[in-house]
Amino acid sequence: MRGLVALLCCLCLLTTSFCVRHPARTLPKVANQDHNRYVVRLKEGKDVRHVHDTLASEAELKGHTFRRTMESRKRNTMVVEMDLTALDMVKTHDDVEVVVKDIRLDPPQGNPDVVMTPTDDVPWHLDRINQRALPLDGAFSFGNKCCRGRDVNIYVIDSGIRDTHVDFQRNGVSRVVHLEDIIGGAGFGTDCLGHGTAVASVAAGGSYGVSNQASLFDVRIFNCVDGTYLSHLEYAITAILDSGSPPGIIVMSVTAFAPAYDDEYVPWITSFNALATQAVNAGHILVTGAGNDADFAEYYLPASSGFVITVGASSKKDKICGFSNIGYAVDLYAPGYALPSASHTGDTEVVLRSGTSFSAPLVAGLCASLLGVNDTLNHSAMLDKILEDATDGALINVEAWTESVNLLAYGTPLLHNC
């Protein structure tokens, strides 16, 4: 049945609202395959503008549909909308390495999250990553509140960030910068979904986040209704690399079903890994959620990439959440159930959110604080440090056959003077 399952690909936000025993393997939501968007990768050294223009005029002459999209010409890749006759023409062009159908992301879900009244209590997710064992002690003393993540950039590839929320203000100035908006519509960087605001909050919020002094860079790939594409994720990473902004932590809480056993997905896996390698070589640290499919994370992008830190979700009782993807591709686990975080609907509003989407920014926040005290940490040194610091054996429901690690994120208290 794998072949069939593979056709039902999707890229979805890693949000969910339950934390139960592993249910039966849930199929990824059926993606809308009714689109004619293709990613065309050129052979090494070919000029994308030249090839694009040649193909476009050839298509026009022959009456084929061949439309460039917004991110149509980036490095050696172009994304085009075309009909099947144009597809045949493009596939056989000498300069073209491979043509793959874009992977559509699901339209984002409605908001299943619980609005809560703000309190002064230390959020449980911060409390938990600051101690080895339960019960919680009500404190979060990882590093100095005045400098956690100071001068570190966290790039949030998501649905935008509500920059006016109090969780992102420092001395009356927002720490959010809108770097790129691939979607448009609602206004540059405007979060009409809430997912990106919550991710930013957990990574770097003043009340709900780890690196409360970090700068947040918003790269928006999700809107409120129409979903998006895997090519947008690649474009977003490329945009960060090409922006000239200093290296930092890139958190991308999205997932696409893309198993290596299916040839259809191999070009995607290859190209994503090549891009992730470039990002890592440029000094970035990439962090993603494992996915909420109650499945093995190795079948999903970006979770399966060896150049990305992949984080599964745990509960208040130190259980791996039933929805969380598991297996050897998950590097470690972090709280991912009912995390209080900034809401996109009001500047002081708070919501409880669940999903590996929110485990990833917790670890991203830890990475940002670590980078803040040691800017020589690259991907492999950071991964080593995060795994070395993590609490070994805290999770109570790890099953050996799943090849999952039993590591829970932990922030070894930082000493810094600021």
If one asks whether residue 378 binds ligand NAG (CB under 6 A), the answer comes out as yes
- Is the separation of the CB atoms in 331 and 288 below 8 Å? no
- Among positions 225, 380, 399, 418, the unique one binding ligand NAG when judged by CB under 6 A: 380
CA-to-CA separations, 376 to 128, 154, 381, 413, in angstroms, rounded = 27, 16, 9, 19
Residue 303 and residue 120: Cα distance in Å, rounded? 34
Pick the closest to residue 308 from 355, 267, 261, 251 (CA basis). Answer: 251
Structure tokens at 286: 């990439």
Q: How far is the CB of 363 from ligand NAG (least distance, A)?
A: 17
Instruction: Classify strands 285-289 and 254-257 as parallel, antiparallel or unpaired.
Output: unpaired
Among the options 305, 357, 359, 404, which is catalytic? 357
Q: Which stretch binds ligand NAG (CB under 6 A): 132-140, 184-192, 331-339, 370-378?
A: 370-378
- Is the separation of the CB atoms in 133 and 68 below 8 Å? no
- Among positions 24, 376, 400, 413, the unique one binding ligand NAG when judged by CB under 6 A: 376
Q: Would you call 151 a catalytic residue per the annotation? A: no
Binding-residue total with ligand NAG (CB under 6 A):
6
- Among positions 59, 377, 386, 394, the unique one binding ligand NAG when judged by CB under 6 A: 377
Residue 380 and residue 391: Cα distance in Å, rounded? 19
Q: Would you call 195 a catalytic residue per the annotation? A: yes
Among the options 158, 163, 218, 318, which is catalytic? 158
Q: Would you call 314 a catalytic residue per the annotation? A: no
- Among positions 84, 225, 381, 418, the unique one binding ligand NAG when judged by CB under 6 A: 381
If one asks whether residue 243 binds ligand NAG (CB under 6 A), the answer comes out as no
- CB closer to ligand NAG out of 11 and 152: 152
Residue 60 and residue 203: Cα distance in Å, rounded? 48
Among the options 195, 284, 344, 379, which is catalytic? 195
Q: Which stretch binds ligand NAG (CB under 6 A): 46-54, 146-154, 302-310, 375-383?
A: 375-383
- Among positions 374, 388, 399, 418, the unique one binding ligand NAG when judged by CB under 6 A: 374
Pick the closest to residue 135 from 127, 143, 146 (CA basis). Answer: 127
Close Cβ partners of 172 (under 8 Å, ≥ 6 residues apart): none
Q: How far is the CB of 107 from ligand NAG (least distance, A)?
A: 38
- CB closer to ligand NAG out of 22 and 416: 416
CA 54, 55, 56, 61 torsion: positive or negative? positive
Instruction: Classify strands 254-257 and 215-220 as parallel, antiparallel or unpaired.
Output: unpaired
Q: How far is the CB of 378 from ligand NAG (least distance, A)?
A: 4
Residues that bind ligand NAG (CB under 6 A): 374, 376-378, 380-381
Active site amino acids = 158, 195, 357
